[in-house]
Every structure is written in structure tokens, then in C-alpha cells.
Structure 1
Amino acid sequence: MNSSQREHVAAGWYRLGATCVVLDDQGRVLIQLRRSPVRWELPGGLVDPGEALYEAAARETEEETGVTVQVSGLAGVYQHPSHGILAAVFVAAPVGGAPRPSAEASEVRWAGIDTARTLLSPLYRPRLEDALRASGTAPLRVHEGQDIIGALPATVPSRDRV
């Protein structure tokens, strides 16, 4: 943890994170081998000021993996108190691009669900499992005062993802 992260934790502040569980039409999940720390993860990162959570999830996925996604729903929210992180995990589908290494990921690939379960860091396995088990997704609304400026509706999956 760097000094800025320690200051946020000490002050009781949280940084917002956004992650995608990207599933293709073959039932595979997009995973990446992070450069630091070296571990297999789902794509995602921190939310920029003024950015909607689901927009950050899509942006981070494209930046880190080369795959453009359409976010379809919110699968869960994960709190990491000791690191001051509150992360939203979204379900998404690929709509363009192709897996490629990036500054943050030395390897990016589509993996079968069982392979992903084996390779993913223990931090990310529950996020994958929760997304696969979800019978639907929760709604997410972005608003300024009373005005809704963005939204993801609750959804019911069209196929069994497990």
C-alpha cells in the first residue's frame, strides 16, 4: 500500500473500483495476468472523478485488455476495508477488439470457466462465482440531485452461465 492509500484508509475514505466479468458467446471469461502484483485477475481498476462506475468498468477493461465491452448489469459490490477499496463488479459482453497485452497486463486471454476458476487469484474467484450464480443483476442509477443522468436496469440472464 502506498502513502496515499494509507492516508485514505487512515481517514476512513474509500476509493472506488470497477471490475468486469466479461463472458463471450462460447461461455469463456476474459482474464489477465497482471504485471504487478503478478497474478491472474478480472479486468478493472479505479473510477475517475465524475465517471460512472459502469463506464469505468468498460474503460478499464478496454485499456487493460484491448477488448471493448457492453456492460449489462451489476453483479455485486465488494468492500476491502484494510485497503480502503469499494469495488463494483459488472457483467459484460465483448463487442469489439481482441485480447492483447498492455502496460498493466502481460497476458490477456479467454479462458474456460473451470480454467479461470483455477488461475484467478483468490481475491477474484468469489467475484467470478457471484457473477456466474446471479439470477439477475441489480439496478444502478447515476444521478445529480433528482436528475437521472445514467442507468443500468436490473436484468435477468438469457442463458445459464454456470
Structure 2
Amino acid sequence: MSPAPLHSVSVAAAVLDPQGRVLAIRRRDNSHWEPPGGVLELGESIHDGLRREVEEETGLRVEPDALTGVYKNMNRGIIALVFRCHLTGGTEQTSIETDRVTWLTPDQVRDRMSEAYAIRLLDALPTDEPRPAIRSHDGEHLTP
């Protein structure tokens, strides 16, 4: 019998403002734009981890409203859960992990993020399509 595959679980927030823009961070380590979020800690609930990661990376507090997508990085075994969230407080700021925190239009998301990260925010935009979206990717591009 082969050993069970190892996976990690990450969470990310899709926070929309009244103008239809989404909250995004630029990572300090690689300058990539992404939704705020990160890996859950052992023993941490999904929503608690989401709140913690967003506040650590952006200085903002959020509350999750709905699961909008489930994404698997097929190369690294990472499952990402993305939630549409609303702001509850805090002050926008960078962190040791982020060098930019900003609000992007959907077109800016498409221009600045790799397909694998852009789709997480684009899937969270209000639509008539069923939710959550379930997708796989290779770390950069969606895979069939």
C-alpha cells in the first residue's frame, strides 16, 4: 500500500469594494500579485485562518460571506479555498510578507496576476454561475 499523498490547505479572501474592485497584495519575496491569504495552521479553523492571514498581510479585518472557489495546484498538492468576504475594520498596511496592498479592477487583476491567481478573484465576482467554482492549475495556468 502506498503512503497517503500529502496536501496543504490554504485560504484566500476576495474582498470587493463598492466600485467592484478587489483587494490584492504584492508579495515581498517574489513581487507576484495575489489575493490575500495563506496556509492554514494545524488546529486552526478555516474561517479563523482566513481572518488571520488577511489581517497579517493587509492590516484589514474581514468576515467571510461565501465560498466561491476550490483550487488545486496539481504540481505542489496545495488546495486553496477562496471566500468572498466583507470588511469589518482595520487599517490598510503592508507587512513582512507584502510590499503593496491595493484595490484592483477585474481588468487589472487579469493584467497583473498569473491566470491561476487571477481566476480566484474573478470567480468571486457576482455572477449567475453556480458556486463554488472548482478548478485545477499548475501554479501558473489552469489545467483541464
Q: TM-score range by the shorter chain?
A: 0.7 to 0.9
Greater Cα offset, 117-126 or 29-38: 117-126
Q: Which residue of 1 aligns with 2:79?
A: 86
Q: 1:114 and 1:94 mapped to 2: Cα distance?
A: 22
SS class of match (1:27): coil
Q: Quick one: which of 65, 75, 78 aligns to 1:72?
A: 65
**How do 1:65-144 residues align onto structure 2 when only pairs under 5 Å count?**
65-132=58-125, 134-135=127-128, 137=131
Q: 1:66 and 1:48 mapped to 2: Cα distance?
A: 19
Greater Cα offset, 110-119 or 22-31: 110-119
The aligned amino acid for 2:26 is: L
Q: Which runs of 5+ in 2 are unaligned?
A: 133-144
| Preserved CA contact (<8 Å) 1:54 1:90 | no
Q: Which residue of 1 aligns with 2:142?
A: none
1:12 matched to 2:8: no
- In the superposition, the TM-score normalised over structure 1's length comes to 0.72
Q: Greater CA radius of gyration, 1 or 2?
A: 1
Q: 2:90 and 2:114 mapped to 1: Cα distance?
A: 25
By relative contact order (CA 8 Å, sep 6+), the higher-ranking structure is 2
1:35 matched to 2:28: yes
SS class of match (2:19): coil
Deviations 1:81-129 (A, max 9, x none): 2212111011001111232110100011122222222222322111112
| Preserved CA contact (<8 Å) 1:18 1:46 | yes
Q: How many residues align?
A: 129
1:47 matched to 2:40: yes
Deviations 1:117-145 (A, max 9, x none): 2222322111112111554655xxxxxxx
| Preserved CA contact (<8 Å) 1:17 1:46 | yes
Higher helix share: 1
SS class of match (1:131): coil
> How far 1:25 sits from its partner (Å)?
2.2
